[in-house]
Structure 1
Amino acid sequence: MSGWLDNIECPRCECLETVGEKRNVIASVAAGILFFTGWWLIIDAAATVPDNEDFNHAYHTCGVVSTVAFVMINAISNAQVRGDTIGNGCMGQTGARVWLFIGFFLAFGALIASCWILFGPYVVDNCCPDNLWPGIAVFLQNAFIFFAGIVFKFGRTEELWE
């Protein structure tokens, strides 16, 4: 009974061959939409709940840290991390890896902090029982920015740049 699916071939769609040529465009647009959606959600939460008691404005720090992490993660190329570049730059491959590590550290830290903001003040402490939207918006903002950074970093290919 083993191997009975080995000879089955899936039909190939011709449209998928042209998608490979537009991989950078698709990944960039998808990352941009995710990034925009994250900031749009937090702007909506800040506009609908302007009171500092219901939505502490210090919670915006997570979104700012996520944005800085997004820039840090995508500021260096994968070739720099691998050490395939011609110039070594300031610290070479090690510096690029440390920079990338700090960027991911900030991104994960902001995502974890946004989880704490959602569950700490809004779910467990129940500061606003009728309005959980600000906590949800802070978490979604950081999740969308985090995934935008991942899509923008790993969704593009550098072969077309050469």
Structure 2
Amino acid sequence: MSLPRSNYDPRRVCLTPFPNWSLGKHKRTMGIYLAGGLFALANWTFLDAAILSAHAHAPYDDPQIPPPVHVAFVDWLPGISSLLGMLVINLIDKDRVRGEDGFGDSRAVWRARLFLFIGFALMAGGLAGSVVVLVLRYVLPEVPEEYQYYGYANVSQNIALMLSSVVLWMSQSVSSEYEYNLSI
């Protein structure tokens, strides 16, 4: 059994604490804009595939053959799950997750960490669901390559939503230039 480290806090769950980065004057704002850009790119990519699917038509040389696949509600479910996970993650008070600022109720810290886990589980489930939809609907039935874009757009949407959530979490966790920490 080893001795605890000198900066050991028994309230912590992880051995390594959240990083406290001071990124400068406009880095926090740029991180928030980057997260918004990733969010917009994620949803634009999938909406592009859904609109393209809605306007897909048969080849001009043989108009009797319908397109092999369209974006259905099953394709929307992973994105909805990731979006809900992103909302849950970014609505949690970061100080409560860390257990700082003298929150006397230890159950509040535990509940905040539970909700954070649920948010990440929703996002991971959305990503896993999008990969499953890609494989089962677009790769295994050997759909033509121009229609596989629908599945790839679904996976890229979920990856971009996860990255957006992580960037937003990190951007909001850093201290701002205009934030004053007064302690006695």
- Please give the TM-score of this superposition, normalised by the length of structure 2: 0.70
Q: Distance in 2 between matches of 1:49 and 1:98?
A: 38
Q: Is the contact made by 2:35 and 2:168 (CA closer than 8 Å) also made in structure 1?
A: yes
Task: Say which one has the larger Rg.
Answer: 2
The CA RMSD over aligned residues, in Å, is 2.4
Residue 33 of structure 2 corresponds to 29
Taking a change above 3 Å as real, the CA distance of residues 36 and 90 of structure 1, as seen in their structure-2 partners, is: farther
Q: Distance in 1 between matches of 2:26 and 2:92?
A: 21
Residue 119 of structure 1 corresponds to 135
Q: Is the contact made by 2:94 and 2:173 (CA closer than 8 Å) also made in structure 1?
A: no
Alignment partner of 1:54 is 2:70: yes
* Structure with greater helix share of residues: 1
Residue 44 of structure 1 corresponds to 48
Alignment partner of 1:104 is 2:120: yes
Please report how far the alpha carbon of residue 57 of structure 1 lies from its aligned counterpart in structure 2 after TM superposition. 2.6
Taking a change above 3 Å as real, the CA distance of residues 154 and 124 of structure 1, as seen in their structure-2 partners, is: same
Q: Distance in 2 between matches of 1:144 and 1:56?
A: 21
Gaps of 5+ in 2: 1-22, 57-67
Q: Is the contact made by 2:69 and 2:147 (CA closer than 8 Å) also made in structure 1?
A: no
- The code of the aligned residue for 1:134 comes to Y
Alignment partner of 1:92 is 2:101: no
Gaps of 5+ in 1: 1-18
Q: 1:153 aligns with which of 164, 169, 172?
A: 169
- The code of the aligned residue for 2:121 comes to F
Give the count of matched residue pairs: 145
Alignment partner of 1:138 is 2:142: no
Q: Distance in 1 between matches of 2:37 and 2:53?
A: 24
Q: Is the contact made by 1:23 and 1:157 (CA closer than 8 Å) also made in structure 2?
A: no
Alignment partner of 1:74 is 2:90: yes
Q: 1:64 aligns with which of 66, 75, 80?
A: 80
Give 3-state SS (helix, strand or coil) of 2:173's partner: coil
